[in-house]
Structure 1
Amino acid sequence: RPLSTSAMVGLQVLRLQVFVALWSSLVAGQEGAGWEKGQNEEGKNVQTLKIEAPTMTEEDQYGYNMPDRYKCDSCRAVMYHVDEEFRKKQPASRRLKSWEYTDILDDTCKTAFQGYGIKLVNGQNVLSGPGIKEETALA
């Protein structure tokens, strides 16, 4: 059955809220790129670690909307959390009521998007966090 206009507007608002919630939860971070062995001036064996933080653009820092380069990963993150919550809260004996779907989505949008950030992979800023496939070649 087709959705009413108010339901379609509600879905658009919900979609925007999810993206804003995810985007506002981003914290810039970077994992280590790997240890390098070498020797110092005194001939002692040492290990060095080069860490390079991503350079955040003005759009990354202050933009209201999700930048295009993060949209696929942010969508994966949203679906990961929504799926996780629906699986936890789906009763075995009955279908969820429409208001229960709304409550689950509202709660998920409010609480689920901690731990996301931007990291540098192969010289490119990428979104990082639960539910997003990890790249192994860090810059």
Structure 2
Amino acid sequence: MLSHLSTCLLIAAMVLSHMSTAKRTCFTSLRLKTISGYEERDIPDFEISSFLGICSKAKKDCPGRLLEHVKNIFGPEVNPMTGNTSLRMCELFGREILPSDDPDVDVSYKVSNCGNEGYMGIGRLCCFKCKAGPYTFFHPIDNCAPTARPAWCL
């Protein structure tokens, strides 16, 4: 009897151990939409763990944690995009993005092995691409407000 009970407890412990490590990956990327089309850049993914119902949890948590995930990577100035957040995103896309391009950024997601995907709009992104000698840098345009190129930004 004790041997049978020990075996049942061992099997239960193994099943619970396996269930507690159930994980899904939330694959993420940023998509820049402009009047000339789309550009997509991968960003780090994140994992979702659950004791039970991993797909139902992942389908809720993946989109539910997207904005926080983007803020952790790029900074808190999202929607509207300003400051260092704009700068880091402009560097990621590596191009000049003007208000006349009608630019919007979405973060897209796809949950591994759960059949759930979508996107969330996170704001407008604009920046000048400037050159100083051999160096190239980006100057964000806060809130994509129409503005003239600064004289020092060639």
Q: Report the TM-score when normalising by structure 2.
A: 0.30
Higher relative contact order (CA 8 A, sep 6+): 1
Higher helix share: 1
Higher strand share: 2
- The structure number with the bigger radius of gyration is 2
